[in-house]
Amino acid sequence: MKKKDLALVRYEIETLKMCQHPNIMRLLDVFETIEYLYLVTELLEGGDLLSYLKRMKFQVPEARARKIIHSLATGIFYLHTYGIVHRDLKPENIVLKTNSDDADVKIVDFGLAKIIGPAETCKDIYGTLAYIAPEVLMSKPYGKAVDIWGLGIITHLLLVGFLPFDHKDDAALAK
């Protein structure tokens, strides 16, 4: 790993060490050798939310969608309480605990997360285009609300079965 990438992984580890919430992946331990860095996390065997949606043919019962959205919202509230902005909420970063169709969901992948103060903002352009908030795309200062935008996109996908903003061409999608 390059030093910059290793620094990002270490930042992710420090962020995960702070998180103790039922809807956030738990980091149990970290082992480091000269060549490798091992992260021991709780077992999450259900695959990501996008795989679940494909398995369900993008038709999720409203009650199930409501449970998923509520779980994500409480996890995001917890993160924001501690000043953590995830900055890359998308179905691929939400994992089901088990293979069951009613499994609990967990927020994962804190590689782009950032800890900010109450009045602090970010300017870095991070995220996945289909889920990124407009203020990020316009290079404006942003805060925790970008996670709420991502949750809104996921909510739309769960309830309607497709993304509200989608295009094969990234430039057109960004516009």
- Note whether residue 126 is domain-resident: yes
* E-strand stretches of the chain: 27-32, 37-41, 84-85, 94-96, 105-107, 114-115
- Note whether residue 16 is domain-resident: no
- Note whether residue 152 is domain-resident: yes
CATH number of the domain encompassing residue 169: 1.10.510.10
DSSP state of 129: G
Which has the closest alpha carbon to 75: 16, 12, 161? 16
- Residues facing 122 on adjacent strands: 142
- Note whether residue 108 is domain-resident: yes
Catalytic residue among 29, 88, 102, 170: 88
Range of the domain at 60: 44-174
Going residue by residue through the chain, which has 175 residues, state the pLDDT in tens, using 9 for 90 and above: 788 888 888 889 999 999 999 999 999 999 999 888 899 999 999 999 999 999 999 999 999 999 999 999 999 999 999 999 999 999 999 999 999 989 999 999 998 999 999 889 999 888 888 899 999 989 999 999 999 999 999 999 999 999 988 777 777 777 7
- Note whether residue 96 is domain-resident: yes
How far is CA 65 from each of CA 19, 27, 59, rounded to the nearest angstrom? 24, 26, 10
The total domain count for the chain is 1
For the chain, state the CA radius of gyration: 16
88 catalytically annotated: yes
